């Protein structure tokens, strides 16, 4: 990424000497010269145009709690929290319990209180049996008892489940109208998805999931995944000419073409010949006069992206462009030219 960023044009601030090749950093820098400060502190006179600086400043007020309660010793550094607290001192407590003498000025507090009474016991109900509780934690603990015991049984077959929903879905398989029939055997179902699963059992569908490395085929995706793991461990395709090995048939075939004696793809400009079309295309770029990839630091140009990358590394290591007037040195010819202009002014 750093090598890539060097190819971008450097951004210079018109107000000060700041320069960067990161657009985001440049935009953030410009905010320093901006007069309007959008983030203002509600506790003191502090103001800033940086949200992060504002958040950091607000934390400094946490130690001093300026908002104090007139009735008790309660204090906080947030005005909104103090208002919420003051409600506890009000005489009008409108939310009353219908069972006992408890009353409060907050609806949420009353709801929590009602859980104590048995009238709200059915708030958390079990979807498997008649169990009910006024505590969510108790219901969760109860549900664990259903994980082991499968008490919902099918009257037609041996199917059992611990969920009513699954049993209902299973019972549909015993329905009279089974519109989805198998063309190979007598199997029939009232659900299309079940028929699809059944068809996989027949040998005619065995080649649905094929291995791209060998002739293995299966009707189950999971089996294919397990099979592919075998190829990772062993490299079955060995070259008879050299020591090359691979676990991919396609890669192996491409390698074998490199040993061909007949090199059918020839260069029209020079005597170069190869047995691969893509390699010839790469070679032809050498004869191209228009060099697309230019160095952002010097006059170097090439038609190979990889060659440019190797060249740019040389600039990163050393600063070859030095100023004749002062000690300034850089790895960019353009930066040096811009710097020399400052001496003229």
Question: Is residue 44 in some structural domain?
Answer: yes
Residue 145 resides in a domain: no
Domain co-membership, 281 together with 216: yes
Q: What residue numbers bound the domain in which 159 lies? A: 152-202
Residue 214 lies in a domain: yes
Distance CA 272, CA 302 (A): 20
CATH number at residue 186: 3.30.160.60
Cα-to-chain-centroid distance, residue 3: 25
Q: Is residue 124 part of a domain?
A: no
Whether residue 98 is found in the same domain as residue 111: yes
According to DSSP, the β-strands at 11-12 and 19-20 are antiparallel
Residue 311 lies in a domain: yes
Number of domains into which the chain is organized: 5
Confirm whether 156 is domain-assigned. Answer: yes
Choosing from 168, 183, 202, the residue where a domain stops is 202
Quote the pTM value. 0.21
276 and 215 in a common domain: yes
Whether 128 maps to a domain, the answer reads no
Same domain, 246 and 278: yes
Question: What is the chain's length?
Answer: 345
More confident site: 280 or 1? 280
Q: Counting Cβ atoms within 10 Å, is residue 267 exposed (0-12), middle (13-18) or buried (19+)?
A: middle
Residue 203 confidence (pLDDT): 52
pLDDT for res 325:
84
pLDDT confidence bin for 261, thresholds 50/70/90: low
Average pLDDT, integer, range 119-143: 71
pLDDT tens per residue, range 219-233 = 677 777 777 776 665
- Classify residue 5: in a domain, yes or no: no
Kindly report, residue by residue over 283-318, the tens digit of the pLDDT. Answer: 877 777 666 777 777 777 887 777 777 777 766 666
Task: Identify the pLDDT of residue 202.
Answer: 62
Residue at which a domain ends, from 166, 185, 202: 202
Lowest average pLDDT, out of 194-208, 229-243, 256-270, 327-341, goes to 194-208
CA distance to 23, 140, 163, 164, 165, per residue, from 132 (Å)? 60, 11, 17, 17, 19
Is residue 199 within 8 Å of residue 185, measured between CB atoms? no
**Residue 6 and residue 22: Cα distance in Å, rounded?**
10
Written as six digits, the tokens of 168 are 């209902």
Q: Judge whether 223 and 217 are in contact, CB under 8 Å.
A: no
Same domain, 264 and 309: no
């Amino acid at each position: 990424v750093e090598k890539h960023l060097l190819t971008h044009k450097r951004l210079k601030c018109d107000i000060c000497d700041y320069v960067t090749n990161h657009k985001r950093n440049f935009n953030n820098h410009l905010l320093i010269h901006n007069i309007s400060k959008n983030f203002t502190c509600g506790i003191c006179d502090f103001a800033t145009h940086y949200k992060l600086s504002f958040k950091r400043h607000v934390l400094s007020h946490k130690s001093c709690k300026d908002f104090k309660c007139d009735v008790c010793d309660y204090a906080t550094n947030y005005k909104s929290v103090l208002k919420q607290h003051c409600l506890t001192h009000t005489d009008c407590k409108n939310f009353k319990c219908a069972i006992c003498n408890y009353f409060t000025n907050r609806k949420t507090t009353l709801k929590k209180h009602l859980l104590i009474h048995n009238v709200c016991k059915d708030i958390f109900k079990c979807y498997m049996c008649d169990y009910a509780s006024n505590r969510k934690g108790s219901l969760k603990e109860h549900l664990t008892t259903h994980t082991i015991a499968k008490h919902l049984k099918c009257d037609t077959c041996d199917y059992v489940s611990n969920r009513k929903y699954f049993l209902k879905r299973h019972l549909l398989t015993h329905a009279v109208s089974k519109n989805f029939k198998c063309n190979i055997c007598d199997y029939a179902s009232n659900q299309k998805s079940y028929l699809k699963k059944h068809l996989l059992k027949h040998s005619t569908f065995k080649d649905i999931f094929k291995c791209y490395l060998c002739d293995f085929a299966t009707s189950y995706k999971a089996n294919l995944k397990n099979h592919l793991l075998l190829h990772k461990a062993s490299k079955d395709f060995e070259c008879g000419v050299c020591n090359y090995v691979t676990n991919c048939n396609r890669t192996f075939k491409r390698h074998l073409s490199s040993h061909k004696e007949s090199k059918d793809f020839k260069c029209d400009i020079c005597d170069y010949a190869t047995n691969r079309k893509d390699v010839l295309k790469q070679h032809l770029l050498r004869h191209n006069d228009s060099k697309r990839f230019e160095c952002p630091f010097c006059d170097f140009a090439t038609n190979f992206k990889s060659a440019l990358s190797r060249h740019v590394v040389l600039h990163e290591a050393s600063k070859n462009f030095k100023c004749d007037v002062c000690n300034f040195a850089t790895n960019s010819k353009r930066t040096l030219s811009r710097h020399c202009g400052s001496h003229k002014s």
